[in-house]
Amino acid sequence: MIAKKSLTLTVLAALALNPLVSFAASKMPLATGTGGAVATISEPATKAAMQILNQGGNAIDAAVAAAATLGVTDPFSCGIGGGGFMLIYLAKENRFISIDHRETAPRNFSPAVFLQEGKEIEFDTAVSSGMSVGVPGTVRGWHEALARYGTMNFKQVLAPAITTAEQGFAVSANFHHFNVGSEKKFAQFNSSSALYLKDGKALPVGMLFKNPDMGKAYRELAIGGVNAFYSGKMAAAILHTVNQPPTVNGVQVRPGQMTKADLLDYEVRLRLPIHSTYRGYDIYGLALPSSGGITIAEALNILEGYDTKSMSREQVEHLYLEASRLAFADRNAYLADPEFVDVPVTGILSKEFASERRKQISMQHASALNNPAAAGDPYPFQNDQSIPLRPLPVKTVLREESKHTTHLTVSDKDGNIVAYTYTIEDWGGNGMVVPGYGFLLNNEMTDFDFSGPHPNVPEAGKRPRSSMSPTIVLKNGKPAFTVGSPGGATIITTVLQTIVNHLDLGMSMDKALAAPRMSERNGSTTQVEPNFVGSPQALRLAPFGHQWKLADELDWEIGAASAITFNADGTVTAASEPVRHGVGSVLVQKPAH
């Protein structure tokens, strides 16, 4: 059943004309070979990473090169004006580390920053403003990654991105599609409309697009390093943009109050990842303030109690939806920045808590419709005397998160792996291009809950809860696969469903990525893609009583995943999005013949 009027002739017509439906002929979304491997959603970014690998760089060097190039070719989703999470596996040391360079709230923030006369301000008003901008963490994250775990410097790894920015590239159908989605936002700001609009409209397909100002920004980083971003002329330009937005005549938006100290004091966090197990595999994901690793682990713990190998596909998918619903109920109630909130992580991740949550699932029918699942009580399973209180789960309205992020994954010949998701949040971030430097600023502060009481309310220095979920999986102590995706809160379900498709349903990784996606986030309906509706898969699930809804016409896809599998014969298979986002791009160092 489809909620409301989700599937109309108008939507179908739009989908039929949508340029994202067609494959990009020059891209290869699947490749197998030896040596290093790269998977992104951008051919120039994939080539940039491979260039670095071929020059002797390792996976960390190549990941930064790819990310910098994505900032040029996919500027509406990511860039140095934002932040992210990098999950690294160091093969020789057999250890994991995650680099949290999530944006932080400026020091003027309080829980009431998005309230006016006691009421939440309009979401779109908050997005297109200086107050939505968190202190960017991307550049410092790249610096820490290269300094601690890389072999190259900024000058070397930024070179491919500089070339792409200065020489330009033809506007693709995919670039144009996302540009269209940002037209209204960009039209409010002089610097943005000058770069991304022509006569008030998105740049046309085929046009040669250059961004010399972004090339300038990268060149300054190549010369001055991380300090060129957080102090000096570039920092001054960022602060001026945030606090005095470059609006066109007559347009008024809320300014921010970011300070020099906010930029200078920004720090990354090196965190141990979340570790869980599933059917003999070791699953490594992100710790808080990302909710991805914990939510995926809890859902898998719930699913692990079922013998999925003896079940039909529709039974497994029904259980996937129900486990996701319960895990999201707990995510929404408890998870937030651990530096501000005592989160019962041990309890949520315990197998015993999963057994209790599993009791809420019926094998015959979906949970009560239009009645989101209540959060569970993980505190009896916490075994942590430092958390004496047991706060009641907070009931909140589920806000739709922005989905415009990017994910890439890289491995090198030595077995090091990087799974990296980073973002500027909404399509085009807050809509403001920093004049003279060509990059968009984030609107990550809108990832906070606008009102409380809630663990994820805004506070000075706090990092908003994220859904980013780069994941690396081991089997018998050796890498088995890595996967991640963009997509706001749908990141979690995309990664979770891909793992279920691969491990429980036995799909090859490319087929696991291609399968129609269902995103159940404890709402009254489950978000699905258009090609799912009316499919045999949907018809087989119909008896369980799930209700479906579609996203809007401009944003109908769920995720744009990338993965690498590590095969038993020593080869690697890189797989990027085979059907979405204009099709992904992969390369392996030594292709198999």
Whole-angstrom CA distances from 480 to 86, 282, 418, 503 are: 18, 9, 13, 11
First to last CA, the chain: 46
DSSP string, 217-263: HHHHHHHHTTHHHHSHHHHHHHHHHHHS--BPTT---------HHHH
State if pTM tops 0.85.
Answer: yes
Q: Is the pLDDT of residue 426 over 80?
A: yes
Active-site residue set: 405
Quick one: angle between helices 59-73 and 43-54, nearest 10?
Answer: 150
pLDDT the model gives residue 137: 98
pLDDT the model gives residue 25: 39
Dihedral sign of CA atoms 383, 387, 388, 393 in order = negative
389 CB burial (10 A radius; 0-12, 13-18, 19+): exposed
Please report, rounded to a whole number, the percentage of residues in the chain having pLDDT higher than 70: 91
Gap between the Cα atoms of 157 and 486, Å rounded? 23
Q: Read off the pLDDT band of 15 (50, 70, 90).
A: very low
The highest-level CATH class for domain 9-269+400-591 is alpha beta
Stretch among 87-101, 329-343, 499-513, 546-560 having the lowest mean pLDDT: 546-560
188 φ/ψ sector (left φ>0, alpha ψ -120 to 50, else beta): alpha
Gap between the Cα atoms of 287 and 289, Å rounded? 6
CB-based contact 470:482 (threshold 8 Å)? yes
pLDDT the model gives residue 357: 98
> Mean pLDDT across the stretch 303-319?
98
8-22, 306-320, 382-396, 397-411: which has the highest mean pLDDT?
Answer: 306-320
Gap between the Cα atoms of 188 and 63, Å rounded? 33
Gap between the Cα atoms of 381 and 578, Å rounded? 41
